[in-house]
Amino acid sequence: MSQAARPSDPLFSGPPPVRVAPSPPLAPEDAWKIMVIDDDPDLHPLTRLVLKNLVFDGRAMAFIHGYSGADARRLMQEHPDTAVILLDVVMESDREGLEVVRYIREELNNPWVRIILRTGQPGLAPEAEVIAAYDINDYKDKVNLSNQGLITAVTASLRTFKLLDTIERTHQGMRRIIAASGSLYELHSLGHLAQGILEQFGRLLEAQSSGRPADAFAAAVKHGVIRIHAASGAYAELIGQPVDEALSSSVVSLTWRALRERGHQFTEHEFIGYFPARNGLENLIYLDVHRRLGEVDRDLIDLFSANIASAFEQLLLHREIIKTQKDVTFTLGEVIETRSGEAGQHVRRVAENSRLLAQLAGLSSDECELLRMASPMHDLGKIGVPDAILNKPGALTDEEWILMRSHTEIGEQVLGASDQEIIRTGAVICAQHHEKWDGTGYPKGLAGEEIHIFARITSLIDVFDALTHKRIYKPAWSIEKALEIVKKDRGTHFDPRLVDLFLANFEQFLEIQQAFE
């Protein structure tokens, strides 16, 4: 608006024109952001003077100043959480403010900021036309706008903004809860689950909006000691330590209160959740988000906490299922070994040493554990081989050898129909653990990396263990003689890389073998 068009209302009279520098924006939790966009520099200090003592919902005002439509576009990009914008209509052009409204709503896609248009020349943009064509929330004639009128208009706009903000934050929070909960159910170790919960809580509460990441930890109670088993932020280095020794007295007190009262606890900026499990394990989740936790935050925490409790129960159920599957696979393996006159401890040595070799080969912890549980089934197909062949002390005839070799395909057929990951993995190992790196193995003559890594690992471990233990058709060989065979068959029978890892770390394999003699 030009100086000639300045209104004479007392609100707009005052000291000589002065360009007011933008005030530093405060965090949304500390103050409502009020943006003043007007090309008349006198209006900025006067508007600030009228509104500076305004407090709404316990929060004061933080002012952001701009003097043109270009300023408005830039500042709204920088401050998308602005609650109210007091926007002049006539600036670079007679309708510049209206173009800014269109930019905010359509290009920035910001439907939340409350827009109060102010004009000293209402004839250039008639109120009825503006209200009908533009998404604004109020339209004020500066000539008739009193101090109290401005306060009333801003307060009403803040009330609406708060309502919209609450609805949107709840909506976003619910979407995050749905996404977070799904990912939690995929985690099958207590440490991974706890770390996943901390990460999802941080995203849910948008802890970064305070300028600091959340400080958080997960702990469990065992033998009367609360010990941290996952952590982030300031507590990241405290994993494994007792809460009583590692944390401040206030956090310790809050933690024990949650445990004593068997329920969640809140402070102004902290949350600690209590999550008991059916097996008696008590889990605790602590968060300090360094900002005030509002009603929306608390509601979202309560909703997410219900899913956390379910995730802990799901983990326990998963563990029970895995334990049952593990018991079944080891028992099946031992039955087959006993039937063929061999010691049942063979499958345990194969399981543990296969896991070790998988670790050395760089497989993930989940893959290593999966191999440990599936490898005991490598000879399951021998259930279809006659006892006379299994227990024959001498060399097999060609016909008998054909029957013996069929155990790979029998095992694959027996296990392959299952939809359980452990059983299906056992089927792969059954089918391929007699394949050879150079393609001369059976039943399909696979070569190199055509052979599944699980089968390549099991093959090497199985052969070495069989060589060093008595079988019905041979005595036990010495460690030295067995190692010579492994070295000789590097690159023909066995994956050369796996042989190198096995030899370089042989003492570890020997310790496992001796532990299960």
CB atoms within 10 A of CB 377: 27
CA distances from 2 to 17, 119, 267, 407 (A): 13, 11, 52, 95
Residues 6+ apart with CB under 8 A from 20: 41, 44, 45, 48, 65
CA distance 61 to 30: 9
Tokens 């009330």, located at residue: 159
User: Taking a C-beta distance cutoff of 8 angstroms, is the pair 35, 58 a contact?
Assistant: no
In this structure, what are the phi and psi dihedrals at residue 59, rounded to the nearest 5 degrees? -125, 140
Quick one: how many helices (H) and strands (E) in the chain? 19, 10
3-class secondary structure, 120: coil
User: Taking a C-beta distance cutoff of 8 angstroms, is the pair 90, 97 a contact?
Assistant: yes
CA distance 386 to 383: 8
Tokens 């020794």, located at residue: 245
The residue length of the chain stands at 517
Q: Is 323 a catalytic residue?
A: no
Residues 6+ apart with CB under 8 A from 418: 424, 427
Q: From the candidates 33, 142, 382, 436, which is the catalytic residue?
A: 382
CA distance 240 to 228: 5
Residues 295, 296, 299, 304: is their CA dihedral positive or negative? Answer: negative
CA distance 433 to 43: 83
User: Taking a C-beta distance cutoff of 8 angstroms, is the pair 435, 442 a contact?
Assistant: yes
Max Cα-Cα span within the chain: 117
Whether cis (ω within 30° of 0) applies to the bond prior to 111 is: no
In this structure, what are the phi and psi dihedrals at residue 66, rounded to the nearest 5 degrees? -145, 160
CA distance 116 to 112: 13
Q: Catalytic positions, please?
A: 382
